[in-house]
Amino acid sequence: MLELTQVEIYYGKVRALKGVSLRVPEKSIVALLGANGAGKSTALKSISGLIHPASGSIRFCGEAIDRDSPERIVRRGISHVPEGRDIFPYLTVSENLAMGAFTRPKSEACETVQRVFGHFPILHRRRKQMAGTLSGGEQQMLAIGRALMARPKLILMDEPSLGLAPIVVHQIFEIILEINRAGTTILLIEQNAHMALQIALHGYVLETGKVTIEGGATELLGNQYVRHTYLGMKV
């Protein structure tokens, strides 16, 4: 469904992504792993249009999207849940969700909101509260819910577990699985490699801007180098 081919991205003179190629098959969950500064967020930003690649191509459902504006890309069906959640702190939960449906027809929003509240009942309880007053876990749920409002075919998630308590992380990952089962493809960046590989189908490891290892999730879980470097296990 999503295909990056030899994508090169520069921040000024610094080469952040060096010929990165990856594929996300439809209806799957793909994990993108790597240390800080490896280029994971950059890869996501290039997909959602926040940055444009210097060379290489990004194709979504067969069409090239590497020159599209973020607006166009949302309309094509890709939603991006950015790192740090980035919810609108002075809008209510409902208004945040409404913003998620910005590109969708008005009539649809009602039904989608119900679905989102179905995934996240707590958001329904807090729907009139200012989003900035929610806890970290609730904000993460809001961010994901907001992305769902656009009825995307593909969701990009940047470190959903960051800064959250383990119980909450578990909840979030359950919901990610739910969303995937309902038919949405997911590309997931995670530092918590263990959890990510539990739910993902495929995985890619990025190191200093290059893909160094790729394969099925179970393969990666068994890979010595991955176990040592990213899963914190003694070899």
Residues at the site binding another protein, with contacts judged by CB under 8 A? 9, 11, 13-17, 34-42, 48-50, 69-71, 74-75, 79-80, 82, 86-91, 95, 98-100, 102-103, 106, 146, 150, 206, 208-209
Question: Looking at beta carbons only, is 52 or 170 nearer to another protein?
Answer: 52
- In angstroms, give the least distance from the CB of 43 to another protein: 8
Which residues partner with 93 through β-bridges?
A: none
Q: Which is nearer to another protein, 41 or 161 (CB)?
A: 41
| Complete DSSP assignment for 109-172 | HHHHHHHHHHH-HHHHHTTTSBGGGS-HHHHHHHHHHHHHTT--SEEEEE-TTTT--HHHHHHH
Q: Alpha carbon 37 to chain centroid distance?
A: 17
- Minimum CB distance to another protein, residue 191 (Å): 10
Q: How far is the CB of 201 from another protein (least distance, A)?
A: 22
CA distance 4 to 218: 23
Residue with Cβ nearer another protein (24 or 206): 206
Burial of 35 (0-12, 13-18, 19+ CB in 10 A): middle
Q: Nearer Cβ to another protein, position 77 or 170? A: 77
CB of 234 to another protein, least distance (A): 26
DSSP state of 209: T
Rounded least distance, CB 51 to another protein, Å: 10
Nearest residue (CB) to another protein, 34 versus 137? 34
- The structure tokens listed for 24 are 């996300």
